[in-house]
């Protein structure tokens, strides 16, 4: 499994890449492997306001539907529309082509609540 050091991670298995006042959000490599082949994705709409830790969509795999929880609060600036036709991009490329949404960061202090790559690896190893 791959956990790039430059990303932040939530305990709900999303990653965050900070780009200025924006955050790109996706599902971690661990999460996509646990879910298996992803069949469908439900994402928020552009302009929606996310609150940290609230659900903002879902991912449907063969055996389950998993809720997506916002790692940060902010306005949705863009969603990955390619996932509508090709949700398996999350399995194939979770950190680039499989991103979920981009949000304008409402409260930069919330970033401090996210995990580093090392802390996330420790967190998931404790759960297994």
Q: How does pLDDT run across 87-104, given as a tens digit for each residue? A: 999 999 999 999 999 999
pLDDT score for 38? 96
In sequence order, the β-bridge partners of residue 40 are 60
Distance CA 19, CA 112 (A): 16
Helix (H), strand (E) at residue 99? none
Confidence category of residue 128, pLDDT binned at 50, 70, 90: low
Distance CA 48, CA 31 (A): 24
Closest CA to 124 of 8, 13, 2, 7: 13
| 5 has pLDDT over 70 | yes
d(C-alpha 57, C-alpha 59), whole Å? 7
Q: What percent of the chain has pLDDT over 70?
A: 98
Beta strands 49-50 and 101-105 are unpaired
If one looks up domain 8-120 in CATH, what number appears?
2.40.50.100
In the numeric block, the tokens 């409402």 are attached to: 106
pTM: 0.93
């Amino acid at each position: 499994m791959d956990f790039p050091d430059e990303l932040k991670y939530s305990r709900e298995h999303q990653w965050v890449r900070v780009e200025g006042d924006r955050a790109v959000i996706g599902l971690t490599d661990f999460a996509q492997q646990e879910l298996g082949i992803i069949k469908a994705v439900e994402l928020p709409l552009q302009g929606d306001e996310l609150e940290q830790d609230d659900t903002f969509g879902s991912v449907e795999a063969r055996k389950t539907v998993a809720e997506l929880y916002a790692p940060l609060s902010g306005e949705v600036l863009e969603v990955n529309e390619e996932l509508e036709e090709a949700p398996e991009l999350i399995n194939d490329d979770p950190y680039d082509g499989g991103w979920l949404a981009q949000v304008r960061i409402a409260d930069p202090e919330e970033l401090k609540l996210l995990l580093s790559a090392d802390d996330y690896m420790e967190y998931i190893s404790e759960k297994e």
